[in-house]
Amino acid sequence: MLEIKNVTLKVLDKELVNNLNLTLNDGEIHVLMGPNGVGKSSIASSIMGNPNYEVEGSIKYNGKEITNLNVYERAKLGIYLINQSPIAIEGVTNAEMLRLALSEKTGEAVNIFDFSKELESICESLELDKSFIHKEINVGASGGERKKIELLHLWVLKPTFIMLDEIDSGLDVDALKIVGKSLAKYYEEYKPTMLIITHSNTLIDYFKDFKVHVLENKRIVKSGSKDLAKEILSKGFKDVSDTFVIRENENYE
Amino acid sequence: MNKLLVSDIRDLNDGIYKISSKNNCLDLNILGNVTIYLINENIDKINLNLKDGSNLFFYDFRENNQNNISVNINQVNNSKVHYNYSFKNSEDCECIINNDIKGNNNESYLSIRNISNKGLSKIIINVKVFEDTTDNIALEDLKGINNGGNVLVEPNIVALSNEVVANHLATIGGVDKASLFYLMSKGINESNAKEILLKGFIYSNMDDFIKTGGEDYA
């Protein structure tokens, strides 16, 4: 369970989010929507432990306060972020990075044969060329390939709390289908808690049940279920009916 | 793979060569398609003369360079050179690379990577494209990481001809914070993340032969 209580988020003294309260129970999927530039990605990045953000308030994961933990310590707890634009890392291959991450996670040396078989099998399911396994992370990869590479990492590392920051942006229909199915399968198998940031319904349609929140003016102004997402996508953020408006300081769970 | 112990001026024809030198100087005439590897050699003066129609890939990798080095690359007509130099230093050192392009239709790609662990590492690159020449390309790609020491680069391109494509890229900094954050977010501790980033950086302009240890099993 992830509990965000009275969180104010700043970057270079600029306040991005004020007094945010949100609880994500185990296995729940929450969708965060909102106009561009309101701080959705900043919330995900600060939950991951990005030191560029100043966080006031409390963020607890499975009862443990994480605001004072660094990114590595949060990752070790099972927190995972896929950015909308995954960076490329020259000179470090996917296999090398995953082998190291996996051995740190399990505390044991990785069996190379099993590891290679697993990576190949994941690549097949993602329709990702197996040559990427031994290629430098995201170097020379297209936008769609980068998202699939991030999913390859996810399937290997098996996190329990996943944040997807516009993973559906820039994907063609076929890639979107593969990414959506892969995430739905992962959810089915491991039941992680998920926070999905998106501007469309193409990805969230792969999930049966989820909660939707709208971030505007530094706080969550509307919350609801699938219907809220549908209404936003048909009417826009401004014209969503008041049924979804939540009162000042109301926590949404 | 040819293994050469070089002690005087040598003509190198088509082939792949791993070179050791008896003295501190390497003086080579390049003919045809040639790949050269220097791995942790203490050679401080390198002269490369590219003959008409030659194509050279030169890889110089030094895990702990303690020398000042000077490299002279001479191109006349229809030649191509990829000069890749990668080194770490733990004391003051200077690297000067002079590349003279005196004729037509040549290509020069100079790629330098340096991690300065201690002391000042000074890298000076001088590429000169001579007057009345055409169809030449000169590209410099210099990257340094201050990892306890400091890197200073001077990338100079003197183009005395109007018909040349010339470009240079030079960056100096610490370990990339975004990359560090990315690797740590995958569950790799800071020390290991930094180590693989530095390793990746220092090998990034080397080919697989050097990345895999530079041993020839053939």
Q: Do B182 and A100 touch (CB under 8 A)?
A: no
Q: pLDDT of B115-172, one tens digit each?
A: 999 999 999 999 999 999 999 999 999 999 999 999 999 999 999 998 999 999 999 9
Yes or no: say if A89 and A139 are a contact pair by the CB < 8 Å rule: yes
> Is A136 near chain B, with CB under 8 Å?
yes
Q: Any chain A CB within 8 A of the CB of B175?
A: no
Rounded to the nearest 10°, the torsion over CA A87, A163, A102, A97 is 0
Q: B192 touching A, CB under 8 A?
A: yes
Which residues does chain A have within 8 Å of residue B203's beta carbon, measured at their own beta carbons? 91
The phi and psi torsions of A144 (rounded to 5 degrees) equal: -65, -40
Sign of CA dihedral A31, B188, A26, A61: negative
Question: How distant is the Cα of B206 from the closest Cα of chain A, in angstroms?
Answer: 10
pLDDT band at A90 (very low <50, low <70, confident <90, very high): confident
Inter-chain touch B188–A101, beta carbons under 8 Å:
yes
Closest CB from B182, B185, B187 relative to A89: B182
- So what's the pLDDT on residue B88? 95
pLDDT at residue number B178:
94
Secondary structure (3-state) at B165: strand
Q: Give the whole-angstrom CA distance, residue B101 versus residue B120.
A: 29
Q: Band of the pLDDT at A227, cuts 50, 70, 90?
A: confident
SS3 assignment, position B115 = strand
Distance from the Cα of A107 to chain B's closest Cα (Å) equals 12
Highest mean pLDDT among A62-71, A216-225, B204-213: A62-71
Residue A27: phi and psi, rounded to 5, are 80, 0
Angle between helices A94-106 and A143-157 (to 10 degrees): 20
Domains in chain A: ranges and CATH: 2-244 (3.40.50.300)
3 state DSSP class of A132: helix
Label residue A252 by pLDDT band (50, 70, 90). Answer: low
User: Are the beta carbons of A214 and A221 closer than 8 angstroms?
Assistant: yes
Minimum distance, in Å, between the CA of residue A70 and any CA atom of chain B: 9
> What pLDDT does residue B218 have?
43
- Mean pLDDT, residues A43-68 taken together: 95
- For residue A24, give the nearest of A207, A249, A193 by alpha carbon: A193
In whole angstroms, what is the distance from residue A213 CA to residue A57 CA? 20
The residue of A94, A97, A105, A158 whose CB has the most chain B CBs within 10 angstroms, and thus the best one to mutate to test that interface, is A97
Q: Which residue in the block uniquely carries the two structure tokens 């050097």?
A: B210
Which of B40, B47, B176, B165 lies closest to B100, judged by CA? B47
- From the candidates A72, A74, A151, A162, which should be mutated to test the interface with B, based on the most B CB atoms within 10 A? A72
Q: Are A132 and A152 in contact (CB under 8 A)?
A: yes
CB atoms within 10 A of CB A69: 17
Cα distance between residue A30 and residue B71, in whole Å: 60
Q: Are B43 and B20 in contact (CB under 8 A)?
A: no
In sequence order, which residues have a C-beta less than 8 Å from that of residue A181 and are 6 or more positions away?
A: A206
Residue of B nearest to A81 (CA): B185
- Taking contacts as CB-CB distances below 8 angstroms, the residues of chain A near B181 are 50-51, 71
Q: Does B206 touch chain A (CB under 8 A)?
A: no
CB spacing of B184 vs A75 below 8 angstroms: yes
- If you measure CA to CA, which chain A residue comes closest to B202? A91
Token output for A191: 């039941």
Round to whole Å and give the CA distance between A167 and B180.
21
Q: Does A173 touch chain B (CB under 8 A)?
A: no
Q: Which structure tokens are listed for A147?
A: 């998202």
Which of the two residues, A228 and A150, has the higher pLDDT score?
Answer: A150
For strands A2-11 and A14-24, give the pairing. Answer: antiparallel
Q: Does B195 touch chain A (CB under 8 A)?
A: no
Whether chain B has a CB inside 8 Å of the CB on A90: the answer is yes
pTM exceeds 0.80, yes or no = yes
Tokens standing for residue A8: 């104010």
Query: For chain B, how many residues are written?
Result: 218
Please write the tens of the pLDDT for every residue from B32-83. 999 999 999 989 999 999 999 999 999 999 988 777 999 999 999 999 999 9
Read off the pLDDT of residues A236-250 as tens digits, 9 standing for 90 and up.
Answer: 877 776 666 664 445
> Do residues A229 and A212 make contact, with C-beta atoms less than 8 angstroms apart?
yes
pLDDT at B89 over 90: yes
Q: Please state, in angstroms and rounded to a whole number, the distance separating the CA atoms of residues B19 and B26.
A: 9
Calculate what percentage of chain A has a pLDDT beyond 70: 95
